Amino acid sequence: MAQPDYSNSKYGAFALTIACLIVAAFAGNFCDEMDITFGGERAKILNGGQDLYLSLDQYSGSGFQSKNEYLFGRFDMQLKLVPDNSAGTVTTFYLSSQSTGRDEIDFEFLGNSTGNPYTIHTNVYSQGKGDKEQQFHLWFDPTAAFHTYTILWNSQRIIFYIDDIPLRVFNNHEAIGVSFPKSQPMKVYSSLWNADDWATQGGRVKTDWTKEPFTASYRKFNANANKVSPDSKSTSSRNENQAWRTQGLDAAGRNRIRWVQNKYMIYNYCNDYNRFPNGLPVECTRPRFL
């Protein structure tokens, strides 16, 4: 996932340090889990470390990343997206490795002009190769209230959820030659940045800077996951409930994902014959929901 490289992360780290000193008595919050990576005071931790706000203005966006790396797990984050005229803005919640041939699992939220829907963009990279996009509109207003966005990642599949409703499943098809992210630990990232060269209607609608600052809200991050220590050893999930290790879609889940994809999917790389004139990717011939 490409985004600007801002150089003022030290100011964000300073602001985070002050916030964490103030709320050090509280456990299980953004102070414990996250480091601000860029944007300085545009990234704010409030309410005893329970809430985090990212802002974007014409000079910089902002972002944060997890202190820990993980190898498989379930990652939940509650988000409330930029309201009103969000055209040109991109809010993200994703996993990514640190290597050159990166693995990555993306939620990207592409803003729009007032009254038009957000586009939910998903993608999966393995060994630096992506091109597996699916995009959706939503059955609710993601700016009016918090909703829970979930990435479930195990060795068999990746499932994207919103409020526990499955949006997309990407299965492990290594047996037929499709690379799958399973060996590189990943950190959790989130950011808010300007991408008006492509984000809204292919870049035709630009960011209206008279509306700045643009703000997205985060809360209730939870990683029920295998944490990887600096010596590359994997430790158990902090939560004893590890159903995510083998989780797939049951009959009810398959019905829900069909409903979502039939009514709200607006792009699927597996249907894009113009993009793949020599034949669709091999995984597109396999059942989508098993």
pLDDT tens for each residue of 55-83: 999 999 999 999 999 999 999 999 999 99
Q: What is the pLDDT of residues 184-236, one digit of tens each?
A: 999 999 999 999 999 999 999 999 999 999 999 999 999 999 999 776 665 65
Q: What is the pLDDT of residue 20?
A: 59
Q: What is the pLDDT of residue 237?
A: 55
In a domain, 235, yes or no: no
- Whole-Å CA distances, 15 to 2, 48, 91, 93, 177: 25, 14, 21, 21, 46
The three state secondary structure string of the chain is CCCCCCCCHHHHHHHHHHHHHHCCCCCCCHHHHEEEEECHHHEEEECCCCEEEEEECCCCCEEEEECCEEEEEEEEEEEECCCCCCCCEEEEEEEECCCCCCCEEEEEEECCCCCCCCEEEEEEEECCECCCCEEECCCCCCCCCCEEEEEEECCCEEEEEECCEEEEEEECCHHHCCCCCCCCCEEEEEEEEECCCCCCHHHCCCCCHHHCCEEEEEEEEEEEEEEECCCCCEECCCCCCCHHHCCCCCHHHHHHHHHHHHHHEEEEHHHCCCCCCCCCCHHHHCCCCC
Q: Residue 123: pLDDT band by 50, 70, 90 thresholds?
A: very high
Number of domains comprising the chain: 1
Judge if pTM exceeds 0.75. Answer: yes
Q: What is the pLDDT of residue 69?
A: 97
Q: Which of 41, 108, 174, 212 is catalytic?
A: 108
- Shortest CA distance to 60 belongs to which of 110, 5, 1, 118? 5
In a domain, 13, yes or no: no
Phi and psi dihedrals of 139, rounded to 5? -95, 15
In a domain, 87, yes or no: yes
In a domain, 233, yes or no: no
Domain extent at residue 186: 30-228+243-285
Which amino acid is residue 192, in one-letter code? L
Distance CA 241, CA 194 (A): 38
Q: What is the mean pLDDT of residues 106-129?
A: 96
- The verdict on whether 69 is a catalytic residue reads no
Q: What is the pLDDT of residues 27-61, one digit of tens each?
A: 458 999 999 999 999 999 999 899 999 999 999 99
Q: Which of 69, 104, 133, 174 is catalytic?
A: 104
- The verdict on whether 41 is a catalytic residue reads no
In a domain, 220, yes or no: yes
Q: What is the pLDDT of residue 129?
A: 93
Q: What is the pLDDT of residues 88-115, one digit of tens each?
A: 999 999 999 988 899 999 999 999 999 9
pLDDT at 21 over 70: no
Q: What is the pLDDT of residue 289?
A: 76
Which amino acid is residue 216, in one-letter code? A
Q: What is the pLDDT of residue 24?
A: 38
In a domain, 266, yes or no: yes
Q: Is beta strand 119-125 parallel, antiparallel or unpaired with respect to 234-235?
A: unpaired
Q: What is the pLDDT of residues 147-172, one digit of tens each?
A: 999 999 999 999 999 999 999 999 99
Q: CATH number for the domain including 220?
A: 2.60.120.200
In a domain, 15, yes or no: no
Which amino acid is residue 106, in one-letter code? D
Distance CA 174, CA 148 (A): 30
In a domain, 100, yes or no: yes
